[in-house]
Amino acid sequence: MPAKPYIIEEYVRWSDVDFAGIIFYGSYVRFFEIAETELFRACGLAYARVFDRYDIFLPRKAVHSEFYFPARLDDRLRVATYVGRVGTTSMTLNFDVLHDDPPRLGAAGWMVLVCVDRKGLKPQPLPPGLVEALAPHRLTTAAARAILGITTPAGARAFP
């Protein structure tokens, strides 16, 4: 089966917006983390068990966001998540936040997760089972956006 992004749907809630009713930029991290958690769960890697199974944590090394079109209170957004780069001890998760009417990219971001042992928090290789389980969602940004039917806004950077 060809790789594809994993998609969740989430509403912009009161706690996500500023006084003008427009989503606060920091709220996108909440959307990214929900999408990440559900991607892992869909791949059989629920965090409650994956950390015990592999004796690791996956802390963030970097979080990056770009904003193209504002979301407002009660907008229903789709967040597409896919694995970009996979290294020896880290991986990059990409996120595209989609508005439906008309279809367009509202925001995008990425996170670098580093695999560390739980006792000493020292980097260690990603477990092969983890990498294998996420493989159905490993895509380049261009490939993911082609599947999603959206284009990258002019001037936007390609994500890792």
pLDDT, mean over the chain: 93
Measure CA 89 to chain center: 18
Judge whether 70 lies within some domain: yes
Range(s) of the domain holding residue 77: 6-148
Q: Which two tokens stand for residue 46?
A: 């629920």
Count of structural domains within the chain: 1
Judge whether 155 lies within some domain: no
Judge whether 156 lies within some domain: no
CB 31 within 8 Å of CB 10: yes
Q: Write down the pTM of the prediction.
A: 0.93
pLDDT digits (tens, 9 = 90+) for 78-107: 999 999 999 999 999 999 999 987 778 999
Judge whether 50 lies within some domain: yes
Tell me whether residue 101 is exposed, middle or buried, using C-beta atoms within 10 angstroms of its C-beta: 0 to 12, 13 to 18, 19 or more. Answer: exposed
pLDDT digits (tens, 9 = 90+) for 24-56: 999 999 999 999 999 999 999 998 889 999 999
pLDDT digits (tens, 9 = 90+) for 119-139: 999 999 999 999 999 999 999
Query: Under DSSP, is residue 9 helix (H, G, I), strand (E, B) or coil?
Result: strand
pLDDT-derived band at 155 (thresholds 50, 70, 90) equals low
Judge whether 132 lies within some domain: yes
Q: How far is CA 33 from CA 20, 69, 139, 143, in A?
A: 24, 20, 19, 22
Judge whether 159 lies within some domain: no
pLDDT-derived band at 2 (thresholds 50, 70, 90) equals confident
Judge whether 157 lies within some domain: no
Q: How far apart are CA 153 and CA 130, in angstroms?
A: 32
Supply the CATH number for residue 142's domain. Answer: 3.10.129.10
Q: How far apart are CA 128 and CA 135, in angstroms?
A: 11
Judge whether 115 lies within some domain: yes
